[in-house]
Chain A
Amino acid sequence: MKVGLFVTCLVDLMRPRIGFAALRLLEAAGCEVVVPASQTCCGQPAWNSGDRRAARLLAEKLIAEFAGCDYVVAPSGSCAGMVRAHYPDLFADDPAWLARAAALGTRTYELTDFLVTVAKLDKLPGDFRGTVTYHDACSGLRELGVKAQPRALLARLPGVILTEMNGAEECCGFGGTFSVKFGDISARLAEKKCENVRASGADAVVLGDLGCMLNIEGKLRRLGDEKTKVLHIAEVLAGET
């Protein structure tokens, strides 16, 4: 099974170890992993900013880069959601590209969804010990139905105790460019999320998207919380925390 790892632009820039953690997990699941060297971004920032043309050009680029893969996996519900749920919208007027986009979309997965649904990985390399709470990032949850998958994987780590926070499904306030266009609203939403994280009493908040990660970690630290860890699910599962 040939799997293309779409690292995502934020992981590339901010947290490469999440990319390597995803790689390790996919290899542990017995996949032949390829990482196309020319990959950059799925185009979501352009799509959400109203630049359909730029989004489409980046979509064409990604579709071509991963065309030879059986599956495309991203350590992000947001980016996987862009490919699966929104690429077809970009090619509504172009049947040939639409078919390619739709075909790739059905083969594109968020990491935990892929590990549970397709690869059926049961032995995890991770050895995290502690109490964690899981933040459901919006796109993964509401576009791809990622909810039970990360929890099922966490449940296989004997040292992990999952304690659910209030409002786990509520937006952390990141929202891409929203976080800087409306910085004060965004920061206030992050604060509410942090209050829920802290009230859960967990040692770490675990999540599946870089945007939420930067937002929540940034707010926790600004609030003076140096203790609560903010970890990507791939890091926890792969033992690369």
Chain B
Amino acid sequence: MEVRSMHFKARASTSAADRALQAKLGTAKALFVDGRKRAVAEIDLEATRAVSQAIRDTCIDNLDLWLERFEQEATKRGAQVMWARDGAEICRLAVDIARRHGVKKAIKSKSMLSEEAGLNAALEAADVQPVETDLGEYILQINDNELPSHIIAPAIHKTKEEVAELFERVHHKPRKTDIGEMTREAREMLRAHFLSADMGISGGNFLVAETGSVALVTNEGNGRMVTTLPKVHVVITGVEKVIPTLEDLATLMRILPRSATGQSISNYFSVLTGVKRPEDTDGPEHLYFILVDNGRVDLLGSEFQDMLRCIRCAACMNHCPVYQTIGGHAYGWVYPGPMGAVLTPLFVGMENALDLPHAATLCNQCGVVCPVKIPLPGLMRTLREQQLERGLRPWGERAALTLWAWLARHPNLYALAAKFGVRYLNWLAEGGDRIRVMGIAPAWTAGRDFPAPQGRTFRELYARRHKP
């Protein structure tokens, strides 16, 4: 996907003023945030978080060994495991597979890796028609390949009315107003694709090393159609998704749907192992795993390794006050919200996403809800540190920081500066209790007043009261 993260500031500004967008995000927030709260109350949350973190760390600490084990077990069961270094390799491998099997149409269940790679465009260029079957992804695809704005609810930025209008225009059918009816209409449109496709492409929530299986968490059932109906199934997922055992999968499944959608268990949960055997009634004849690096391996052993634990539940963005205000598109690439603010600069280059690690109040709401305890604010802070070290911050910001830090280490000069600063602010307040326009920080007073200082600094008043 094309990177637009360098335009974050302008796009976030536009979104921050978009009350309609915030209303839509507010509805989803009520669903996700309240839902999660109810669902995690059913389990020993902190114990489950600790075990989940440990499971993910176990794998990541020895990622090569677990991936080899996965490859052996999957191969034993008739699958082919392929490795992709980047998005271009994902596209090349997927197109090769499609050509090998004479595929004309590929149905897709959600895969964020295919978004990273821009796979749909590559398939189209190779005369393979990609059809998104996740309802949200389908809505975006028929709306001229609009980009997702959330990792599990890609069309969260659209209202029911917008979708009704889109369906009427694209499906050429009478306009529906009821969500159930609209869903049925989409299902009817998709059914023909399900039955005529030669290849299914899915993501993978987890890869189980001991059995060579892929686990899929879905709510619409489309994932089952995609992975069982066509004769070819291609799983595209990140190398970090591997976990050791089915037992570990059971543990992680206690926390993933609860964190994501507030469900004790998702409507559909599939563990897919190997190709169709003679005694099986359905399943793919050919199963391929494309396991992707695309920046992940570089995080091993780095100060960002914790990020590899991420299980893509989206709890961080659902709980993020900034995401709630600007939505996902402003972030400019595949992953929005706190996890996106960390992953995007790491995957697309720090210089292409300078604003992202700064676009957070560091309130740590993301950190406390993360099911695998990723210290997201800390990682954003580390990215800020690396930006400064590499000279990627604006000159004015660096100068102000240096001057302030120098003053703060020289108490007498600092006291003098504070004394004059207070008087300057009071002069701006024109004797009142607030400053309406502040030249040194116009971004503050554009949207709110700045309360005037009380009058004297604490140290001035304290010195006066405690004269020897």
Residue positions of A touching B, CB distance < 8 A: 7, 9, 11-17, 19-20, 35, 37-41, 43, 45-52, 54, 57-58, 61, 89, 138-139, 142-143, 169-171, 173-192, 213-215, 217-219, 221-222
Contacts and interface: CB of A to CB of B under 8 A. Distances in A.
Contacts of B395: none
Given A142-B367, A215-B448, A49 B388 contact: yes
B458 A175 contact: no
Interface of B: 9, 12-13, 16-17, 22, 321-322, 325-326, 358-365, 367-368, 378, 381, 383-389, 393, 397, 401-402, 404-405, 407-409, 411, 414, 418, 421-422, 434, 441-444, 446-451, 453-454, 456-463
Contacts of A138: 361-365
Contacts of A13: 418, 421-422, 453, 457
A45 B447 CA distance: 22
B434 A16 contact: no
Contacts of B368: 142
Contacts of B408: 9, 40-41, 43, 58
Contact of B12 (A7, A179, A185): A185
Given A48-B384, A218-B434, A185 B16 contact: yes
B149 to A, nearest CB: 16
Contacts of A15: 453-454
Nearest to B453: A14
9 contacts: A46-B405, A50-B387, A142-B364, A175-B362, A179-B444, A183-B446, A185-B325, A188-B22, A190-B447
Given A37-B459, A51-B388, A51-B405, A12 B418 contact: yes
Contacts, number: 193
Given A13-B422, A13-B457, A138-B361, A180 B441 contact: yes
Given A50-B386, A58-B405, A181 B358 contact: yes
Given A13-B453, A181-B358, A54 B363 contact: no
Contacts of B16: 184-185, 188
A52 B421 CA distance: 26
Max chain A CB contacts within 10 Å: which of B363, B367, B404, B421?
B363
Contacts of B367: 142
B390 to A, nearest CB: 10
A173 B325 CA distance: 11
A219 B451 contact: no
Contacts of A7: 458-459
Contacts of B17: 184, 188
Name the 4 nearest CB pairs between A and B, nearest first: A187-B447, A175-B361, A183-B443, A50-B384
Contacts of B22: 188
A218 B451 contact: yes
Contacts of B13: 184-185
B453 to A, nearest CB: 5
Contacts of A46: 401, 404-405
Contact of A183 (B414, B447, B451): B447
Given A37-B459, A48-B381, 10 more contacts: A14-B454, A16-B460, A51-B388, A52-B385, A175-B363, A183-B442, A186-B361, A192-B321, A218-B449, A219-B448
Contact of B361 (A9, A12, A37, A174): A174
B428 to A, nearest CB: 13
Contacts of A171: 321, 361, 363, 365
Given A184-B13, A185-B16, A222 B447 contact: yes
Nearest to A50: B384
A182 B444 CA distance: 9
A52 B405 CA distance: 11
Given A17-B454, A48-B362, A188-B16, A54 B405 contact: yes
